[in-house]
Amino acid sequence: MFNFDETRLVQKNAKLVLRRIEAANNGRTNVRSTRNRTVASLLTFVAANRSVLLSVYILKGRFRDDGEATVDLNLEHAPRVTRGIWPRYYVWNDTRYVEADTFKPVLTKGAEEFHALYPCMSARLFGDQLAANRRADIVEFATGLDLFLFSLAKNTSHMTQPLDEAPFATLQADRVRRNEVAIMDGMLTSTSSRDTLLMAACEAECRAFSRPIIIGAFRRRGLWPFDADLVKANVRANLGLVDSGGTAADAARHAATMVIQAAQDRVDQSKARPKNVKAVVQRGVVHFPFLLLARHQEMEAVPAKEAAAKVDRREKREQKKQQQEKLLVGKVAARETQRCRVSVSKVRRGGKTWVGCRCDEVRVFPECAKSLQAGLALAGHFNMCQGGGQSESEGDSGVGAGDSSSEDSE
């Protein structure tokens, strides 16, 4: 036998408080208004045998046309597996409240956890009068999973449900305290406190749903062991029928130092626990934390690959630039070897009447080939040239005084 109920994690001013869920068409409100900033909804399944089947955090996501949304949240590191640890899941939808499309996958996940613990058995689940709990298709769907849904009498769930007694009360008190401490620590140490509300809820949940608290809640409500007189008595009661410095400045300075140091220590300790996760989720699908971490790693790998490709493209551009510069230097050097040694303004561009050495390092313009300067330039080069010291020309050159002819030696 399990009791399941949804509670909203609501931020009111600077505090995080709990608000009970009520029907939208409720004529007479029996609880305070819930019109505050809702952070998430927590849906918990607890059993009369002191165990917690699972808990589901329902958060709001901005979904695209393909039904997926990119989310960013901090996840606690998984605690050591003991008998007091239960699975925790996350699901995203458009409203962050329990709806029919969200409740079905939650029931499926609950059935998987239940049948893994208790094979060949069926479970009885009772909750409040929320519309999603009483729809015919939901009840039929749960019956196919060997889960039988029951609803408590109208306007009595807050006084007969075990979860609405000590578990949620302990969760509220511990969550508010942890949230205020986390916010104050962030202010004193100039660190981000964006996810302190949800992280405080996760930490407080482990303490609020302990075995002694669950056992006491079922016993005080009179449901397990069943006590009809105690149940009636609860209904009647709810209906009203029944030291460090010589001066004050030194003391204040020392106290402030100690508080800031303690806050810094708590922040340093908390940094090792949560992990910021970014993942793409689908509407109404129950997500296990390890799968969210895997998707986070996949999303982190994309920028790394893009950065590596960017570095590779930059290196290729640098190599191409160096090759172009080297080619330009070669062209300039080759151009200088084709320049006339007499008239420096003349550069050979493929003419056939230029006179020069076979090593192709000295060239003379045809009109300058018969001058004395050309003969001296060629003669000086022939004395030092290792290619034979002979001139070549496509036509009749007659360089200088005839010392260097242009006849072909081949």
Specify whether the CB–CB gap between 197 and 179 falls below 8 A: yes
**Rounded mean pLDDT of 371-397?**
67
DSSP per residue, 132-189: HHH-HHHHHHHHHTTEEEEEPPTT-HHHH-STTTHHHHHHHHHHHHHHHHHHHHHHHH
Comparing 214 with 189, the larger pLDDT belongs to: 214
**Residues pairing with 277 in the sheet:** 73
Query: Which pLDDT score, from 0 to 100, does residue 294 have?
Result: 87
Q: Which of 26-35, 165-174, 201-210, 314-323 has the highest mean pLDDT?
A: 314-323
Q: Residue 383: enclosing H or E segment and its boundaries? A: helix 372-384
pLDDT score of 122 more than 90: yes
Residue range 127-154: mean pLDDT, rounded: 91
Range picked from 137-151, 251-265, 375-389 for highest mean pLDDT: 137-151
Q: What are phi and psi of 176, to 5 degrees?
A: -60, -45
SS (H, E, C) 273-337: CEEEEEEEEECCCEECHHHHHHHHHHHHHHHHHHHHHHHHHHHHHHHHHHHHHHHHHHHHHHHHH
Q: Is 397 helix (H, G, I), strand (E, B) or coil?
A: coil
pLDDT of residue 403: 39
Q: What is the pLDDT of residue 334?
A: 79
Residue partners of 84: CB distance under 8 A and separation at least 6? 210, 211
Query: Averaged over 370-395, what is the pLDDT?
Result: 70
Distance of CA 221 to the CA centre of its chain: 43
Contact 160, 221 (CB under 8 A): yes
CA–centroid distance for 384 within its chain:
73
DSSP state of 78: P
pLDDT tens-digit readout, 330-381: 888 878 878 887 887 888 877 777 887 777 777 788 888 778 888 887 877 7
Secondary structure, 3-state, 176-244: HHHHHHHHHHHHHHCCCCCCHHHHHHHHHHHHHCCHHHHHHHHHHHCECCECHHHHHHHHHHHCCCCCC
In tens, the pLDDT along 6-31 reads 988 876 654 444 444 444 444 443 33
Q: What is the pLDDT of residue 75?
A: 78
133 and 189 Cβ atoms separated by less than 8 Å? no
pLDDT at position 273 is 63
Pure H helices in 1-130: 100-117
Strand-pair category, 2-12 with 123-127: parallel
* pTM of the model as a whole: 0.64
% residues pLDDT > 90 (the chain): 30
In whole angstroms, how far apart are CA 98 and each of 80, 105, 256? 29, 11, 44
249's tokens: 């400045």
CA distance 223 to 249: 58
Band of the pLDDT at 111, cuts 50, 70, 90? very high
Q: How confident is the model over 305-331, as pLDDT tens digits? A: 999 999 999 999 999 999 999 999 988
Distance CA 5, CA 121 (A): 22
Q: Where are the beta strands (DSSP E) in 1-97?
A: 2-12, 15-20, 37-47, 52-60, 68-76, 88-93
pLDDT at residue 32 tops 50 = no
Tell me the HSE value of 357 on the side-chain side, using a 13 A CA sphere: 22
At 55-104, the pLDDT tens digits run 999 999 999 999 899 988 887 776 666 777 899 999 999 988 899 899 99
Q: What is the enclosing helix (H) or strand (E) of 248?
A: helix 248-271
The mean predicted confidence, pLDDT, of the chain is 80
Place of tokens 């970014």: 278
What pLDDT is recorded for position 317? 94
Residue 409 has pLDDT above 80, yes or no: no
Most confidently modeled range among 165-174, 185-194, 236-245: 165-174
